[in-house]
């Protein structure tokens, strides 16, 4: 690249609270009936007074703690003045110079991407532009929804890293259960600030991109209307290409706000970008300053779950599973908790078996992780389901893992039992009997069956005796086919080796 790429992100997330940010209206922006969840406060009627939502404040602070932010013990709300049809009051209650959280970082590919701030505000209503009509409809159900905004430092290096950052942040929001963060529904909305600077023309100092002496900075462009992770990457890549072509042709890059057109994969000009002065911020006179006490902060901290980065390291160390398995299991909080519950349930089976506990626990933890990743998650993907759709209890899943691990049923039978369990959460032992999948362990019974197989495959027997020992796998396959997969493969292999020697 001829130029240095400088990218910063602003990510809005609608918080999961029962009521809106400053009133008692139901927080349900997706209500089927337009303008159903509204009141004089969220509609901005004169004389009404906003009251901050405590749960929204706590969830914002919790998010800050999770990404290593510092918490402003003294904070406040401000009025941000701008005029859009879907902004009922003609201003937005937001936070300017004293956000709830500041600093922090998210780690992407072993690189810490610093965060500037996380602040809390209210969402706007929704404008509905009907195709072919010369009017716009307004739905105020979303107006006043708690909206948390996170702003990164302008230190993201390319579109791919920006996409990964958004994906990781969404995972954190869902882990904390503060937001569903569904980009397609608008519950998480990303805006990218992109600028291109000549090499060796700038420095990063005090949280700002500054021009070196005798140099001039190119303005940044804000890109809005990005509603998927793929679009984050596409929009930024297009903007990089557009700006580089302008600079190559000695044309000016304007400091503007552009929207991303999903269909054409292009950004299009919306307006000249505002500055903070344009918004005429001043302290919200109807809401007193916020004081975050030590006791309150401690209560919020205690609600913080173990986050994915720490969980991955613990899973590897505690259970001996691979890094790939640990990452897969830790991607979803419910899945990771379900996995650990299944491993915990295996304890009773280990004790009953009389085996060495610690050795067997790690082995079974690996088996559980493998069965989840190779079978369970594969099935869910095929059925377009997620982990919350699983009705299998950790107890029954642990029982299935143990049956396979101890050789009571083979892996093929285990897959059939798991498929059946996904349809009805029954005990694996009951299903094994019901489906007729009990493994044949009786040596005498297997010996008679194997003799029949050898009599029918004399050519292969001769090959084995002449030194082609790999043919024994073919013979074992014949045994498994003849017993419809019920033969214990370990026992069958031992009998084969004895009869062929």
pLDDT digits (tens, 9 = 90+) for 239-280: 999 999 999 999 999 999 999 999 999 999 998 876 777 889
pLDDT at 102: 97
- Quick check: 400 and 417 in contact, CB under 8 A? yes
Residue 216 has pLDDT above 90, yes or no: yes
- Alpha carbons 399 and 431: distance in angstroms, whole number: 12
- How do the domains of the chain map onto residue ranges? 3-279, 308-434, 443-500
Which two structure tokens, joined as six digits, stand for 317?
Answer: 């160390």
pLDDT digits (tens, 9 = 90+) for 447-465: 888 888 898 999 888 888 8
**Distance between start and end Cα atoms, the chain:** 68
Residue 167 has pLDDT above 80, yes or no: yes
Q: Please list the residues that pair with 152 across neighbouring strands.
A: 115
Average pLDDT over residues 404-424: 85
Say how many C-beta atoms besides its own lie within 10 A of residue 500's C-beta: 16
Q: Domain 443-500 is of which CATH architecture?
A: Orthogonal Bundle (1.10)
pLDDT at 54: 98
Which two structure tokens, joined as six digits, stand for 483?
Answer: 């017993």
Give me the sign of the Cα torsion angle 333, 334, 338, 339. negative
pLDDT at 356: 61
DSSP string of 138-197, one letter each residue:
EETTSTT-EEEEEEE-S-B-SHHHHHHHHHHHHHHHHHHTS----TTTTSEEEEEEEEEE
pLDDT at 143: 96
- Alpha carbons 312 and 325: distance in angstroms, whole number: 9
- Quick check: 380 and 387 in contact, CB under 8 A? yes
pLDDT at 387: 79
pLDDT at 32: 81
Residue 96 has pLDDT above 90, yes or no: yes
């Amino acid at each position: 690249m001829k130029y240095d790429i400088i990218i910063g992100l602003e990510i809005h997330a609608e918080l999961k609270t029962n009521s809106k940010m400053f009133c008692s209206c139901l927080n349900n922006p997706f209500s089927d009936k337009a303008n159903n969840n509204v009141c004089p406060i969220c509609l901005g009627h004169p004389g009404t007074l906003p009251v901050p939502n405590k749960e929204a404040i706590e969830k914002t602070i919790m998010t800050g703690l999770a990404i290593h932010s510092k918490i402003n013990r003294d904070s406040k709300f401000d009025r941000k003045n701008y005029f859009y049809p879907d902004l009922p009051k003609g201003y937005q209650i937001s936070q300017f110079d004293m956000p709830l959280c500041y600093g922090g970082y998210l780690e992407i590919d072993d690189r810490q991407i610093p965060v500037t701030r996380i602040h809390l505000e209210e969402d706007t209503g929704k404008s509905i532009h009907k195709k072919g009509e010369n009017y716009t409809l307004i739905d105020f159900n979303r107006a006043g929804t708690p909206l948390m905004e996170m702003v990164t430092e302008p230190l993201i290096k390319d579109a791919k890293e920006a996409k990964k950052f958004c994906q990781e942040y969404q995972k954190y929001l869902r882990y904390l259960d503060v937001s569903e963060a569904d980009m397609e529904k608008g519950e998480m909305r990303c805006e990218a600030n992109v600028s291109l600077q000549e090499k060796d023309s700038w420095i990063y100092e005090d949280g700002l991109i500054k021009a070196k002496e005798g140099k001039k900075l190119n303005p940044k462009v804000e890109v809005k209307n990005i509603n998927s992770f793929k679009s984050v990457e596409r929009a930024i890549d297009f903007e990089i290409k557009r700006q580089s072509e302008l600079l190559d042709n000695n044309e000016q890059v304007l400091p503007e706000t552009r929207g991303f057109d999903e269909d054409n994969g292009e950004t299009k000009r919306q307006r000249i970008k505002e500055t903070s002065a344009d918004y005429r911020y001043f302290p919200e006179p109807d809401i007193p300053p916020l004081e975050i006490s030590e006791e309150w902060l401690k209560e919020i901290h205690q609600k913080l779950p173990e986050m994915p980065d720490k969980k991955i390291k613990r899973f590897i160390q505690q259970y001996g599973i691979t890094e790939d398995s640990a990452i897969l299991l830790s991607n979803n909080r419910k899945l990771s908790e379900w996995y650990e519950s299944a491993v915990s349930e295996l304890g009773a089976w280990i004790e009953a078996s009389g085996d060495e506990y610690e050795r067997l626990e790690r082995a079974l933890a690996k088996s559980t992780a493998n069965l989840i990743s190779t079978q369970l998650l594969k099935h869910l993907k095929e059925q377009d389901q997620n982990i919350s759709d699983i009705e299998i209890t950790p107890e029954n899943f642990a029982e299935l893992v143990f049956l396979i691990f101890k050789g009571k049923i083979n892996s093929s039978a285990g897959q059939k039992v798991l498929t059946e369990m996904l349809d009805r959460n029954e005990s694996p032992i009951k299903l094994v009997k019901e489906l007729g999948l009990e493994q044949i362990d009786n040596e005498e019974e297997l010996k008679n069956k194997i003799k029949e197989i050898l009599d029918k495959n004399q050519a292969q027997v001769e090959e084995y005796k002449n030194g082609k020992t790999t043919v024994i796998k073919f013979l074992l396959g014949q045994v498994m086919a003849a017993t419809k997969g019920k033969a214990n493969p370990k026992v069958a292999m031992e009998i084969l080796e004895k009869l062929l020697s």
